[in-house]
Structure 1
Amino acid sequence: MATAANIIEHAVLREAAQPKERLLDKAFALAFRGLVYAQIWEDPVVDMAALDIQPDSRIVTIASGSCNALSYLTANPAQITAVDLNTAHIALGKLKYAAFRHLPDYDVLRRFFVEADSKANIAAYHQYLAPHLDETTRRYWEGRDLVGRKRIGGFASGIYKRGLLGNFIGMAHRIARLYGVDLRVLLEARSIEEQREIFDARIAPVFDKAFIRWLTNQPASLFGLGIPPAQFDALAGDQRMAHVLRARLEKLACDFSVQDNYFAWQAFNRGYDKGPDAPLPPYLQRENYAAVRERIDRIEWRHVNFTHHLAAQPDASLDRYILLDAQDWMDDTQLTELWNQITRTARNGARVLFRTAAEETLLPGRVPDAILSRWDYNEDEARALIRADRSSIYGGLHLYRLKG
């Protein structure tokens, strides 16, 4: 039986790569075995607008931090299956499921996942959640991480500061402070104009430092963003990586009001705003609590490869597919296998949504025309979607529709 580590390594490892590249792939696979995203970094509001979820929609999505999978419940679909190769992400999704099922009210749930830094959360875990978790999930949360901390303890000390991405953001804050910059200052802005002034004067110059240019040019430096070595070149394109990262951070800092953008709070505060009017993912918003709790049994988590899961489904049985940026990891054979299964299982009106590090869709020339010709794609629509994505991390956001 394949282990979780072997599954991830198989997904990342480039068979035709040079020895140095394969070593980087193996290092990334090792880093990716633990918790990567305590919060997902794809905008669910943009997703739901693009997906046009209907009451009979059957959705398959990569789970990651499960924020989006749970947020899709606000659109009232029939069924959601969240799949992931990462056991930590599956454990996080199942913990969130148990929280909606068994925590006594919204205020306790908000303290657990929004504030996420209270000792009362540990007591709530043992009283309300642990008795309802399967053995694998409970063993994960009550086990210890690489530095010996109980994983469930993250909810008493700031879970969003943990995981591969949380550690990466923390390191970015520490490096910025070495140059005299407190990144949290951006959140004090009261207008987009003030955000622009702060970014231009304080944050942007850091990317011109020689050490930052050198550091960001190392593929391993971006492991914390969940970017495998194979994705590094696509993200950089013809530019230095420091310039690309500056442009992505500039969009996050300047294109959307920080008063409405919880992604900015995660980046510049290392956690959500705790105020009563804090911007939050749809599944954590008070007004959506009753609906998500009522529909929580429509979602399930599976520790499986996306393509393998689809291969086990009947023909014409699914409606919406959300791939996040997983295709950036894939070679042509894997892409073809995936899209063959998507096309086989797609019902009339099916839609596929995915993100890419680069701006352009990666499918033409890599997936056979016999498959891809069955799908519609609009470049102008793709550009509009990525402009609206508040997370600002990706270069492209692409929507494919099955032709009638």
Structure 2
Amino acid sequence: MLAAKLSRAVFNFTHGKNLVYNTCWEDPRLDRIALKLTESDRLLVITSAGCNALDYALDGLERVDTVDVNPRQNALLELKLAGIRQLDFETFFELFGRGRLPDWNTIYRESLRDALPQAAREYWDKNGKFFHGRGRRPSFYFRGSSGFFAWSMNAYVNRVARIRPQVERLLEAQSIEEQREIYYNEVKSAFWGPKMEFLLRRDSTLSLLGVPRAQRRQLEKFYPGGIAKFIEDRLDAVFTKLPLKDNYFWRVYMTGEYTRDCCPEYLREPNFARLKGGLVDRIHTHTTTILDYLESTSQTYSRYVLLDHMDWLAEHHADILQRQWQAIVDHADDNSILLWRSAALQVEFINPIEVQLGGETHTLGELLEYNVALAAELHAKDRVNTYGSFDIATLHKNSPFAASDDNNERTGATEDSVSHGALAHSG
């Protein structure tokens, strides 16, 4: 179909030319509980903006490998790694906490540039202006394609809805009850309406957030009211059911910066010191696909964080998805734990995938044991609240799991079981 081709072209242009994610939109507090991280674990994760790789590293993992096909995402993580190694905490917080560094040119030239690998150096030589703190988008968190979307939404809040004071009071609310009162009485009716619904149904808009057409179609098909209603319900949940005082995900996109009390773990001074003390050296970046990386390495892993990229692969490249899972199985320890998210309310495409193990053919449904109860419990607490489902699975290699019907048919936490969310993030 022409619409599908145009949508893919827009999505590929957005992802092929830009830094897409300037911050991670997956809640690592949930992931760390689900993964049960220990100092002997080796983790493979999609890079995205690198925030969560740094968060996981704080558990003292043996190794963290980040993989992303977009070199700009790895350039961002490399800048964070260089900043941790080279800068003092106050300067680092100005850079990635406030998203601006007025003396960027001097600090970059004297402290950061030579600490970067060549590809990252070339990128930041050209794009250091993201941190200058000037112009119409004065914060780094209003840069990149997702940052442009955030800036646009802030412009709408300021100039169309004219509710900036109400939004600021919402962010400073001291209780769920206060949040709920401000949101329903002063914010929602001014922000949400036919114009916003129209905007959020456009593939071009969603591409800025890294949401491919395949993920939008999942929600249009299975969620009553489609993606616009889904987003409306998710906003309702974030602002009226979850405390905002530590929700740094929404704060940074609504203000362009973090605060000392509301920020990712790597931006807290004691954690910054621990990373600088050696933990940062356990993080390694790779610009390639998960499949190509795994097929080129002998490294094995006990933990995997796969984000939501399988939604797109399942619709467009099922053969690559099968090969990727074979590579994951080949490089996984027995009883490895894997996490993934999806725009789908129920993920149906993983269990039927066939892989070879010990000279025999198995479906993933025979090897994966899903922790449905924990996934539902954690997903209900997700501060981001923008995914349709969340899966936690243990891979049994030495003794294939005798999958029950529930294990095969109902994977992860879904809209049927908890109140949560789903604007997908491909990474």
TM tier, smaller: 0.7 to 0.9
Q: Partner residue of 2:374?
A: 381
Code of the residue aligned with 1:398 in structure 2: it is D
Deviation readout 1:105-145 (Å, 9 max, x if unpaired): 2222112211222313442222110122222211111115x
Instruction: Give me the whole-angstrom Cα distance separating, in 2, the residues matched to 1:395 and 1:248.
Output: 10
Instruction: Give me the whole-angstrom Cα distance separating, in 1, the residues matched to 2:245 and 2:337.
Output: 31
Alignment of 1:3-402 (within 5 A): 18-33=1-16, 34-103=18-87, 105-144=88-127, 150-151=129-130, 153=132, 157-177=138-158, 178-182=160-164, 183-206=167-190, 209-236=193-220, 237-238=222-223, 239-273=225-259, 276=260, 278-293=261-276, 294-314=278-298, 317-331=300-314, 332-364=318-350, 366-368=352-354, 370-402=363-395
Instruction: Give me the whole-angstrom Cα distance separating, in 1, the residues matched to 2:129 and 2:101.
Output: 15
Deviation at 1:340, TM superposition (A): 1.3
Instruction: Give me the whole-angstrom Cα distance separating, in 2, the residues matched to 1:254 and 1:44.
Output: 21
Task: Report if the CA contact (8 A) 1:199-1:254 is conserved.
Answer: yes
When structure 1 is superposed on structure 2, of 51-60 and 171-180 the one drifting more is 171-180
Instruction: Provide the aligned C-alpha RMSD in A.
Output: 2.1
Task: Report if the CA contact (8 A) 1:44-1:281 is conserved.
Answer: no
Instruction: Give me the whole-angstrom Cα distance separating, in 2, the residues matched to 1:202 and 1:255.
Output: 17
Deviation at 1:203, TM superposition (A): 3.1
SS at match of 2:363: helix
Instruction: Give me the whole-angstrom Cα distance separating, in 2, the residues matched to 1:338 and 1:306.
Output: 7
Deviation at 1:155, TM superposition (A): 9.4
| CA spacing shift, 1:242–1:320, aligned 2, 3 Å | same
Instruction: Give me the whole-angstrom Cα distance separating, in 2, the residues matched to 1:50 and 1:303.
Output: 26
Code of the residue aligned with 2:367 in structure 1: it is R
SS at match of 2:24: coil
SS at match of 2:217: helix
Task: Report if the CA contact (8 A) 1:207-1:246 is conserved.
Answer: no
Code of the residue aligned with 1:336 in structure 2: it is Q
Instruction: Give me the whole-angstrom Cα distance separating, in 2, the residues matched to 1:150 and 1:180.
Output: 29
Task: Report if the CA contact (8 A) 2:94-2:101 is conserved.
Answer: yes
Instruction: Give me the whole-angstrom Cα distance separating, in 1, the residues matched to 2:134 and 2:340.
Output: 30
SS at match of 1:76: coil
Q: Partner residue of 2:423?
A: none
Deviation readout 1:296-342 (Å, 9 max, x if unpaired): 11111110101111122338x21111111111111232322221111
Instruction: Give me the whole-angstrom Cα distance separating, in 1, the residues matched to 2:350 and 2:190.
Output: 37
Task: Report if the CA contact (8 A) 2:25-2:249 is conserved.
Answer: yes
Deviation readout 1:244-292 (Å, 9 max, x if unpaired): 111112222223222212112123222212xx4x211111111212221
SS at match of 1:220: helix
| CA spacing shift, 1:370–1:242, aligned 2, 3 Å | closer
SS at match of 1:115: coil
Deviation at 1:151, TM superposition (A): 4.2
Task: Report if the CA contact (8 A) 1:207-1:243 is conserved.
Answer: no
| CA spacing shift, 1:174–1:366, aligned 2, 3 Å | farther
| CA spacing shift, 1:165–1:312, aligned 2, 3 Å | same
Instruction: Give me the whole-angstrom Cα distance separating, in 1, the residues matched to 2:290 and 2:107.
Output: 33
TM-score (norm. length: structure 1): 0.88
Task: Report if the CA contact (8 A) 1:73-1:295 is conserved.
Answer: yes
Deviation at 1:358, TM superposition (A): 2.4
Aligned length: 378
Deviation at 1:64, TM superposition (A): 0.5
Instruction: Give me the whole-angstrom Cα distance separating, in 2, the residues matched to 1:152 and 1:200.
Output: 35
SS at match of 1:202: helix
Deviation at 1:181, TM superposition (A): 2.5
- Which runs of no fewer than 5 residues in structure 2 stay unpaired? 355-361, 400-427
Instruction: Give me the whole-angstrom Cα distance separating, in 2, the residues matched to 1:115 and 1:304.
Output: 30
Deviation at 1:220, TM superposition (A): 1.8
SS at match of 2:132: helix
Code of the residue aligned with 1:243 in structure 2: it is K
Task: Report if the CA contact (8 A) 1:58-1:77 is conserved.
Answer: yes
- Which runs of no fewer than 5 residues in structure 1 stay unpaired? 1-17
Task: State the identity %.
Answer: 28
Task: Report if the CA contact (8 A) 1:141-1:152 is conserved.
Answer: no
Instruction: Give me the whole-angstrom Cα distance separating, in 2, the residues matched to 1:272 and 1:47.
Output: 21
Instruction: Give me the whole-angstrom Cα distance separating, in 1, the residues matched to 2:264 and 2:129.
Output: 26
| CA spacing shift, 1:259–1:122, aligned 2, 3 Å | farther
Instruction: Give me the whole-angstrom Cα distance separating, in 1, the residues matched to 2:111 and 2:79.
Output: 11
